[in-house]
Structure 1
């Protein structure tokens, strides 16, 4: 069941007896449970009609027993159980034993007065398992993975609309570059933008430069973009800022190498005919990062990228062995890139 489809059904008052929300985007999982709560349980009843369990501490038998128990002073109840790792291929710790037969039996005859939600932070479930096949056949799986590049930008615009402001052209994309692709982080940045610009205001890229607190990873992402565009003055300015903030030069080298490695992987897989969505899944990065890397890859041939990575590996070794001053080594690396 697609995430948006499930939300539309919930808004219409159509509830499935069991949902399994899985994926790496925890914000979407939280939003799904919140929407269910709002549409299923009256506000004054939520204290005793919503039960939450951690499956790392509670066996599934106890959760199902709760689901089969009549609600107290309410027509319906919501039972949410997080950490359903037994649905994935991950090795279970063995601290709690879960009876899958009990869950399979409940799936065939769920309580009419309960909506049961199982959640797990995993991109994939183990479809070799009978219970996962049963849940899939019953259309109870709700994927909550990372949004694609276009979806992410659209989602940001929608959040801005709800908050009463708008993004100037290019500003939503700039916010993603500054803050990353985590929805939880982006929500906080949208709130910050709303407070800054006020109702009816328009956030520009210049505003974002003052408002958004960037992580070192995002700064390196931007630095590499400056390098690719041969804006070396901007690259040196960003390096100086990172050093002023006491970022470790070896860490900076490692992150620059990671970004160039992504560029090389994207270039290689694009040449093999993979789509950007497929590449994102293969190398484990967000589709938006793949789109940016694909644009950057066009400015380098494969041999040049491999040479840059070798230079970074040599620089890392020389830094760690004390054969070169760390800051000087980074500056010389950027100068060589500019000269080339």
Structure 2
């Protein structure tokens, strides 16, 4: 049974006798692990009834033996197995012992498995389970899994933390800021992602710092100018500014920022990558019905609805021909960098000039 409200369960719900947590999003997996341990230690401050084991160091038989021990002066005991992928993938007699236990677990024990390396067939299975059109795919994935995994998925409570898509990271950041007592305005949110990236560990560290700033400054909503000095990464901020200036057709501003990137940061390749991604998104806009709701367009583009109007406005500024011209200019600049045909500063400046000439030509029509 897939758990939807796992945080509430781990905080105060009745824990089932067997739990499985797995997935590639290690921040969320670690968060679930810590939340469960906090719950268990709150119920048993002595730690006498809580065993934390490494799946790489124990056998299935040892796990089962620990799980069958009766609790001491408590209603339940817990066995938590980290890095459980090796243990769950074993075969032979040892595995039969574990399979037998999973079919009839002891009700006075909570046995929890955590794994960041599930079998390939199971990656993303939670998305398939939630999608009515992919139920057959989810069932097939479960049936192809090793026996212990299959039994856990079919008979016990489980949670998957798949790697988040970029639009899901945006939603996660919005939820996390609310938890920390503040909000980010859309430009600040995009700046944060452009600066820090989509790794949740790094994002959470930055959000905690921003929460302290918001509290000290007594601000409920932080904008880009508030957070830029706090992120400690002027390079990414200027890349963000360059993308904004190019999208708005601001030639002088774009060239000024590009010159800084060339002379101070030496990040021509990174700038080209950011701009290429930007214009590939504009290319996608050309294929969409722009009269559709922002939420629908956001799903198609893989961005948050906050940013849809910006991409649509930029596409209208460049047009299909302008976007094609931009992608060609960026491709030629990247090739010039790799071959040494042009100096890096010349390649980047030339690309920006050609891109913005395309925007000017379209707007003059």
Global fold match (TM > 0.5): yes
Deviations 1:321-340 (A, max 9, x none): 22211111101111111222
Give the direction of change, closer, same or farther, for the CA distance of 1:152–1:29 in structure 2 (3 Å limit): same
Of 133, 144, 168, 2:161 maps to 144
Match of 1:16 in 2: 16
1:246 corresponds to which of 265, 275, 279: 265
Cα displacement (A) at 1:31: 1.7
Unaligned runs of 5+ residues in structure 1 are: 281-286
Q: Equivalent residue of 1:19, what SS? A: strand
For structure 2, which runs of at least 5 residues remain unmatched after alignment? 126-140, 359-365
* Structure-2 separation of matches of 1:332 and 1:111: 70
Distance in 2 separating the partners of 1:218 and 1:2: 40
Paired with 2:15 and 2:211, the residues of 1 have a C-alpha distance of 34
The 8 Å contact of residues 51 and 79 in structure 1, kept in 2 or not, is answered as yes
Residue 276 of structure 2 corresponds to which residue in structure 1? 257
Residues 41 and 76, structure 1, Cα contact 8 Å, conserved in 2: no
1:173 to 173, 180, 189: 189
Deviations 1:15-58 (A, max 9, x none): 02222223333222122112211222336334872414154x65
> Any idea what SS the aligned residue of 1:44 has?
coil
The C-alpha deviation readout for 1:43-98, integer Å capped at 9, x for no partner, is 6334872414154x6555544444444567864124132262798xxxx9xxx768
**How far is 1:142 from its partner?**
0.7
How many residue pairs get aligned? The number is: 321
Does the 8 Å contact 1:64/1:106 carry over to 2?
Answer: yes
CA contact (8 A) 1:193 1:211 kept: yes
Report the counterpart of residue 120 of structure 1 in structure 2: 116
Counterpart of 1:284 in structure 2 is none
Alpha-carbon distance in structure 2 between the residues aligned to 1:53 and 1:169: 42
| CA–CA separation in structure 2 for the residues paired with 1:277 and 1:106 | 46
Structure having the larger proportion of residues in helix:
2
CA RMSD between the two structures? 4.0
CA–CA distance in structure 2, aligned partners of residues 204 and 11 of structure 1: 30
1:7 aligns with 2:23: no
1:10 & 1:323 partners in 2: Cα distance?
59
The structure-2 alpha-carbon separation of the partners of 1:141 and 1:114, relative to structure 1 and needing over 3 Å to count, comes to: closer
Is 1:322 paired with 2:340?
A: yes
8 Å Cα contact 1:23-1:121 kept in structure 2 = yes
User: Is the Cα–Cα contact under 8 Å of residues 188 and 227 in structure 2 kept in the other structure?
Assistant: no
- Matching residue of 1:156: 176
Secondary structure in structure 1 of the residue aligned to 2:24 = coil
Contact 1:77 1:114 in 2 (8 A): yes
Separation in 2, partners of 1:233, 1:193: 32
TM-score using structure 1 length? 0.74
Shift of 1:304: 4.0
* Residue of 230, 235, 242 corresponding to 2:254: 235
Counterparts in 2 of 1:254 and 1:10: CA distance versus 1, 3 Å: closer
Q: Which residue of 2 aligns with 1:226?
A: 245
